[in-house]
Amino acid sequence: MSTLLIIVNIVLLLLFITGLYAMQKKHISFSKRVFVGLGLGILFGLILQYIYGAKSDVLKSTIEWYNIVGKGYVKLLQMIVMPLVFISILSAFTKMKLTNNIGKISTLIIGLLVATTAVAAAIGISTTLAFNLDGAQFQQGDAESARIEQVEQRLGDIQNLSMPAKILELLPANPFLDLTGDRATSTIAVVIFSAIIGVAYLGVKRKNPEQAELFAKIVDAFHAITMRIVTLILRLTPYGVLAIMIRVAATSDYNAIWQLGKFVVASYVALIIMFIIHLLLLTFAGLNPITYVKKAFPVLTFAFTSRTSAGALPLNVKTQQSMGVPEGIANFAGSFGLSIGQNGCAGTYPAMLAVMVAPIAGIDPLTPSFILTLIAVVALSSFGVAGVGGGATFAALLVLSTMNLPIAIVGLLISVEPLIDMGRTALNVSGSMTSGLLTSRVTKELDTNAYHGNDQKTLTV
């Protein structure tokens, strides 16, 4: 009987996938298909939990089959992350317009990413104090205990390293190993390795233009192929989101989520405030924030539903270009934003956790010394956050261990992690696009006519 029920559930998923494919054939927009997959996944997941129960064997087996679509989609995104980061950075260096301004542009982008992350940390601290969140109030069940054990294993030897040693871990001792994503800091190591090659390219370009031109053509060819692979993967997004949301809705402990609801609300308040600050920065730069929201909405929607900054990179770059940002700067901002200064995952989230657990460690979170130290640690620890899943967890581990605070709080939030991660990812992408726009504005390379125009060629997946 249970086997028959599992087969019925699989058939229903296939019917939903067929429906989404039919929507694609009717040329219904990508964003609408993603939202349909999101809503349908949540609704069907709730129905499955109501019928079978969150811990039933039928549901467990059903979700294992659904994971072929959901986790398979995530694995494909993970597959392309490192090649995408590597080739995007190189492609930015090979763009002619960046040659004379490369140092200024990279410094501005990184500076803006880190500065906005520091601001996001301050907002996270303020929101946590305003909501009076206390980490000691969270309950620990079996799932939380298992997650805490996983968190402690992941932290490993990093917990015992000094801040200089942690910074040293960012450097690529073996770039080919980092291209496999072997280390938690592999993403930033690949960025550094790519930048070194790019600087070398600029040197060769001055001394031997013919060889540099050949290298640039090779990079452009690889960039085109990589982007095509990304496009093929992104076409699977509505189906992947459908399966992922079914799993989340069907297996979540809603009693635990209800208990943690105050933290979810506080998190989204902090994320929304930080997004408003992005809009204010654009306003101060003389750019219409409403125009930004309209043009950025599709890629922010994709980031929200897919929960991956890396998967959103091609759409991020295209959206920036539609707003008048030169391709080179867009590549830099998008690629750096995957591993440096993620406002949501590396800024707001770790700061909130640190304030919540500080009283447990006998520390007054209201003292200026604690707040200033925490903001500085968050800003420095924002280097090397992965762009596909788990980045916020790693950032929180780094911050909490550096501040000598208990790390168990990371595991206690397992029930609400997917809910908050959606908003965090969207904010990360917004931060990288904002840095690209502001950098282009400062260097006077922004095409304001394109920004204020009606070009909507973004999500042509």
Report DSSP letters for 382-394, one per residue.
TTT--SBSSHHHH
The answer to whether 309 and 80 are in contact (CB under 8 A) is no
Residue 163's pLDDT is 64
The answer to whether 461 and 231 are in contact (CB under 8 A) is yes
Q: Which two tokens stand for residue 218?
A: 């090779």
Residue 154's pLDDT is 55
Residue 389's pLDDT is 55
pLDDT in tens, 297-354: 989 988 888 788 877 888 898 899 999 998 888 888 888 887 777 888 888 998 999 9
Nearest to 237 by CA among 247, 249, 245: 245
Q: Above pLDDT 70, what percent of the chain?
A: 86
Nearest to 387 by CA among 67, 83, 157: 83
Residue 145's pLDDT is 55
- Calpha distance 331→315 (Å, rounded): 11
Nearest to 116 by CA among 329, 332, 357, 382: 382
Identify the segments of the chain with pLDDT beneath 70: 1, 95-100, 135-163, 166, 184-185, 256-257, 259, 384-391, 411-412, 414-415, 454-461
Task: Centre a 10 Å sphere on the Cβ of residue 45 and count the other Cβ atoms it contains.
Answer: 24
Residue 147's pLDDT is 56
Residue 16's pLDDT is 94
Q: Domain locations in the chain?
A: 2-452
pLDDT in tens, 193-222: 888 898 898 888 888 888 988 998 998 899
pTM: 0.79
- Calpha distance 340→278 (Å, rounded): 17
Residue 11's pLDDT is 93
- Characterize 402-415 residue by residue with b for buried, 16 or more Cβ atoms within 10 angstroms of its Cβ, and e for exposed: bbebebbbbbbbbb
- Calpha distance 376→171 (Å, rounded): 20
2-452 CATH fold: Proton glutamate symport protein (1.10.3860)
Residue 143's pLDDT is 54
Task: Centre a 10 Å sphere on the Cβ of residue 454 and count the other Cβ atoms it contains.
Answer: 9
Nearest to 125 by CA among 273, 276, 338: 273
CB-side exposure of 250: number of CA atoms within 13 Å?
Answer: 27
pLDDT in tens, 434-461: 999 999 999 888 888 888 876 544 455 5
CA 246 to chain centre: 21
